[in-house]
Amino acid sequence: TPSSSTSQTPTGIVYNSVGLYDVILHIESPCSTGPDSTFKSSYITVNAPDVNITGNDSICNGDFLNLTASGANTYIWGPAQGLSSTIGATVMIMPTSSMTYSVLGTDAGGCKDSALFSVVVTGLPSVNVQGDTTIGYGGAANLSTNTVGGTSYSWLPLSDLSCSNCANPIATPNV
């Protein structure tokens, strides 16, 4: 509950919690026979901003993406590591490891709210092709990979392969 004031136009009254507040006005005048009072129920509404962050929560190492905050007027981001800027509604991030970003939003009335957003950084796949490198005329080679972090495959050239999108195609070149 804020303090009272004897000013005709009070300033600096702070409401510490979101909610509805009553106002009572007591007026005394030398011309009146006594004080006059007016009561206003739920006269002041105090709202807090509702800050949210949107963006992709997964990124490949070496890539960048944008995170966007909403729900307030101004924003301060942290930690600064991997951020293009620490202020503004939209920031570009390029983290080198998985991390959680925070944003503090302030509305026009000075009320604040914060939000957190975690981003997972996925390492680049490690590709290692194994198999025969020399075959006889009319022969076939079993190609295989020892790939870490890969989720799909694309072998080239497409001709003379048993499959172009599997982990272990058989190559039968027609020379």
Q: How confident is the model over 75-108, as pLDDT tens digits?
A: 999 999 889 999 999 999 999 899 999 999 999 8
Q: Read off the pLDDT of each residue in 135-164 and give the average, rounded to a whole number.
A: 80
The separation between CA 71 and the C-alpha centre of its own chain, rounded to angstroms, equals: 13
pTM for this one?
Answer: 0.61
Helix, strand, coil distribution of the chain in percent, nearest 5: 0, 45, 55
Q: How far apart are CA 94 and CA 88, in angstroms?
A: 16
Mean pLDDT taken over the chain:
84
Q: How far apart are CA 116 and CA 29, in angstroms?
A: 54
Which residues make Cβ contacts (< 8 Å) with residue 44, sequence separation at least 6? 15, 20, 21, 23
Q: How many residues are recorded in the chain?
A: 175
Q: How far apart are CA 41 and CA 10, in angstroms?
A: 18
* Two tokens, residue 168: 């272990």
